[in-house]
A and B are shown apart, each in its own frame.
Chain A
């Protein structure tokens, strides 16, 4: 284990996130200012004005009631825009009243472009992103050319496809969002690439294949596909493959549907590469990649009486090496490790990881901020990392009663929890990731900041993903948030943080120091400075 770590650390110098100098590499996505005024939202309708009729109103007053209701709704929406709330309505109209000291900015972009997941494949050559509009965009790293040895290949769009479409649940009269919640790559076995993508209800296995040759010279068909009149065929020829422009095709190979009553929050591919799990709020199902019409339920925490429900599943993952082990985290800050060999239904955990609450930090929001939003095993399989609202914790699988390391991401927000509860930011689900050698962990924060913690040197760094450092190979400047009191130069005070600009999704290349950081609708790629 130690040997492995030290070999890796040689790769990028005398180990440490702070010895890496991170440089801007690329940014993908629309620039906010380019969006034209009056841009129309795609897909979603704004909140429909409700006609709520108090039944005691006599009929003649019905139209008046409707009118009043509409006026009030209009007024409310206008007010809401003024206060710059992140709701769909506020994104439509460019409001002239942006002079308030809004805590949150209003950006004008298509809601469908909001990035909802980012994932490198196992080699790191491909980078997949999913967005709120149900699309998957895959970027491919260019092959490094010899002339530019001081920079790694850039990521360019490789394939774009619509993975999920919005659906309507007629029984409940509710929409099923097409937003991609998670993407997981399968390891490559042949020329094609496979990935699993999921929205709230349905998981799909996509095959991404390249085509760079096509057959020419059919006997019965013209080149454009029209059928030839058989009587005009006088000679026979053998069709041959001729090269063509590279075409990347994505086709859905399997659709795993109708297995989840609640919203899917995680998928995880087993180390046997044959099965995978999908977790929703109350249940976890085990699937075989080849079989779509049934799945096994391995965890079920739904109580008999739904009114007694106090805990939900927030994330789940298979162990990277043991194909029988998986963990799932809950909204109460616990992680349960289960062994599928123990029983068919893994309701009884094998290990329960929970840190006792710190009594000095108790508040109304203790439970909410302890809710775990992401759990990730280390590549080695010895540790796992959990992300709750304010911190990142690293657990040794052999020790259940407390984490071995805890890193505070944005402790300065602890005194703002009430406001963050009010504006729903406290429910934001931040993800976290390991680097290839498990020595550095990274997670996102607000104001487009993201944080890295070096486990060896115990140092941390805060960086910002913004277009201001636009030139490639510009070294990112570390940022600092000042919690209280005097603000030094270049520091940002907590009050001027923009809570609308949050980095929820980050990914680290499995082998190199390349990171992909997703702001709301842009994808930033940073890499370390190579000499």
Chain B
């Protein structure tokens, strides 16, 4: 028995380092041009301007650029599984980049303690966000959190302040309130994994037995992830790493990686005990492939949706946001069959 759990441990640890679909991330980071990657278009969209944090209209692109770089940096740190030791210089430089972005976010966060509502914000950042909103108004046509999605936790408690640092540029709905960046989420799960294991974690965590606060955080991730994925054809692509990066940000503020010590676990994971992963309650009803109508079933369909999206990154037919629940399990069966058979 102990032998089994040991191998579980090592496998679990290694899974954090499994590689992401890199081609996928490229497309995601492009400003929605789709298709071939073109150097110059990317540049005009992302880097053409020399932006400073205080420029008004270019604040958005600066934020975007910063967020993109943040995500890329996280991906680099956590999705690289080399056979040899990773270069310490590279790790240090990426960490410094992350720290700097975090510092900026922290500073910005402290400028606006309350999230922008429909009423008048007085700080300059709020103005910019209002300007930004029309640009992104075609996004987030859905309310941020479909209420029938997460059965267990109330809306407000789910969203972390860090998540809203991001959401502010993307959503017009002001339905969420929070206490400001000082309220940090409970210890989060591994911040970035490859999209597949993240999807599967979402499946796990949607089991209706979340005793730990982790489920809350992940449920928030899932929920917010949906709102991001819904406008999948929007001009702003967010990689799968984004939801995980949000709970990661406050986590990052506390402890940037001790992954300088070359161990198989990193500083980000230090407060995650393996017991939480290994011995969490399992709801096996998910794995019954009978169509189910319970909330769990609905949730599982949602998770299935996520799963499918991550399994088929290049599917030409995007999963439309309005029918997340119409994908039934027979399609899942079909896809599994295709995967297994090919």
Residue contact A281 to B37, C-beta cutoff 8 Å: no
For chains A and B in complex, what number of residue pairs have CB atoms within 8 angstroms?
182
Q: State whether the Cβ of B311 lies closer than 8 Å to any Cβ in chain A.
A: yes
Q: State whether the Cβ of A20 lies closer than 8 Å to any Cβ in chain B.
A: no
Residue contact A61 to B287, C-beta cutoff 8 Å: yes
Which residues in B have their C-beta under 8 angstroms from that of A56? 204, 277, 280, 282
- Interface size, chain A (Cβ < 8 Å): 66
- A-facing residues in B83-100 (Cβ within 8 Å): 83-85, 87-90, 92-93, 95-97, 99-100
Q: Given contacts A50-B18, A58-B284, A367-B96, is CB(A101)–CB(B87) below 8 Å?
A: no
Residue contact A55 to B8, C-beta cutoff 8 Å: yes
Q: State whether the Cβ of B122 lies closer than 8 Å to any Cβ in chain A.
A: no
Q: Can you list, as one digit per residue, whether each of A421-434 has a CB less than 8 Å from chain B (1) or not (0)?
A: 11010010000000
- Of chain A, the residue at the smallest CB distance from B90 is A427
Residue contact A101 to B197, C-beta cutoff 8 Å: no
Roughly how many angstroms separate A30 CA and B291 CA in the complex, as a whole number? 60
- A-facing residues in B1-52 (Cβ within 8 Å): 8, 11-12, 14-15, 17-24, 26, 29, 36-40, 42-43, 46-48, 50
Closest Cβ of chain B to A275, distance in Å, is: 26
Most chain B beta carbons < 10 A, residue from A52, A67, A367, A416: A52
Q: State whether the Cβ of B253 lies closer than 8 Å to any Cβ in chain A.
A: no
- Of chain A, the residue at the smallest CB distance from B5 is A55
Q: State whether the Cβ of B329 lies closer than 8 Å to any Cβ in chain A.
A: no
Residue contact B21 to A54, C-beta cutoff 8 Å: no
Roughly how many angstroms separate A172 CA and B88 CA in the complex, as a whole number? 15
Q: State whether the Cβ of A236 lies closer than 8 Å to any Cβ in chain B.
A: no
Which residues in A have their C-beta under 8 angstroms from that of B66? 364
Residue contact A312 to B88, C-beta cutoff 8 Å: yes
Roughly how many angstroms separate A176 CA and B38 CA in the complex, as a whole number? 37
Q: Given contacts A83-B22, A331-B93, is CB(A54)–CB(B81) below 8 Å?
A: no
Residue contact B89 to A173, C-beta cutoff 8 Å: no
Q: Which residues of A contact B (CB under 8 A)?
A: 44-45, 47-48, 50-56, 58, 61, 64, 67-69, 71-73, 75-76, 79-80, 82-83, 85, 100-101, 103, 172-177, 200, 262-263, 281-282, 306-307, 309-312, 314, 331, 363-365, 367-368, 371, 415-419, 421-422, 424, 427, 494-495
Residue contacts A-B, CB under 8 angstroms, 27 given: A52-B12, A52-B18, A56-B277, A64-B336, A79-B22, A79-B24, A79-B314, A80-B23, A82-B23, A85-B22, A100-B37, A172-B85, A173-B264, A306-B258, A307-B260, A309-B260, A310-B99, A311-B92, A367-B97, A415-B47, A415-B48, A416-B43, A416-B47, A418-B42, A418-B65, A419-B39, A427-B93
A200-B84, A367-B93, A427-B90 known; 15 new pairs, CB 8 Å cut-off, are A45-B83, A50-B14, A50-B18, A55-B277, A55-B278, A58-B284, A72-B196, A200-B85, A312-B88, A364-B65, A364-B101, A418-B46, A422-B26, A427-B93, A494-B39
